[in-house]
Structure 1
């Protein structure tokens, strides 16, 4: 697999052959520059410009996150050295706040989980329940079951819907066994830290998230 570099060519590569200029299309064909539509040239230029900015922003965000974790780590080490204490609970979640209470940084540690073969046993038991339940009796539950085991991508279960099943209060013996199988299938494979940033205008206001997310920027 080729490695994607951080260098984004500002202009499409122009190949000189036999005194003529060519551009390479997505199939690897050499297309005479004179035969490339003006709209395609403009689209190529526009995308290259946007991707160039995106790559730079991505690198800047990565550097920012690295500096943030280093700064917080240094502060944690100072507390541990001087006071023999640390911020956060057993899971590693931590909150740092300015003296005036108007800004804070939260570090959340989320478990990364996978599911073992017990999940297939749960699916079989739930299929038995769905077979016996009529379509009119519990359609909303059947819908959740279908979504829970309907993978968005190969090998991936819809986890939010799966956990929703665990919150349902159903006394059917097979259902209870299926819920036990789901719980037993959960494997914690690691953890990941998420950093969130907040600020507010006054101590009486609610904190507003400082969003570093392109889809939510400016919201």
Structure 2
């Protein structure tokens, strides 16, 4: 009963200065908290407060930059009486002196539907038949195209790259058609990147906004 009374007293003290809450929600009189624990707590709170402020500023800057670029693209199109419809595509903007450039990119998130399985079946038929006479490089390329990563995801780029191979077998052509028609765009994400030209060169170095890259 005494323990319950003590806990009640601590809870009542929740609205009273001079107490600190621990990770389990218990309140401790500041006089009972070690100085090093107080210093650590203060440091973490200050860093998190600043990090949230930077995060908020970046979010505002990103939104503003996207809006400014979209408005400029519209303004530029108006010079030629052109009307733009739908989502804006990729665009690169340079400063007048070429010292800086800003890249705005739209990356599409794609997936393959069930027709990819039909394509894989046709490709397997071809590889099996060609196994004696086909180029080992082509066999490896096809095998690698359908490998999955640790999460079981396919590499979209490698699969789509198969369509660049000039192979006249009709089954292969049908497989490439199936791959193309199986692509489904399920969403897109916008990116913006900033660059500064390296002194006396034509190369541009990224201006990192990722803390890990600074």
TM over 0.5, shorter chain? yes
**Partner SS, residue 161 of structure 2:** helix
Say how many residue pairs are matched. 178
Distance 1:141 1:80, change over 3 A: closer
1:13 to 11, 23, 27: 23
Deviation for aligned residue 1:153: 5.9
Structure 1 residue runs of 5 or longer lacking an equivalent are 1-10, 20-40
Checking the alignment, whether the CA contact within 8 Å between 2:106 and 2:191 is kept in structure 1 is yes
Q: CA RMSD in A?
A: 4.0
Q: Deviations over 1:154-205 (max 9, x none)?
A: 6632112102211222233322221111112122334332212111155753
What TM-score, normalized to structure 2? 0.62
**TM-score, with structure 1 as normaliser:** 0.61
Match of 2:126 among 129, 132, 138: 129
Give the CA deviation at 1:91.
6.0
Is 1:196 the equivalent of 2:193?
Answer: yes
Change (3 A) 1:84 1:121: same
CA distance in 1, matches of 2:92, 2:168: 41
User: Which residue number in structure 2 is paired with residue 62 of structure 1?
Assistant: 59
Query: Quick check: 2:70–2:88 contact (8 Å CA) kept in 1?
Result: no
Shift of 1:135: 7.6
Aligned counterpart for 1:109 among listed residues 106, 110, 129: 106
**Alignment counterpart, residue 118 of structure 1, candidates 110, 115, 120:** 115
CA 1:62–1:153: 2 relative to 1, 3 Å: farther
1:145 and 2:155 aligned = no
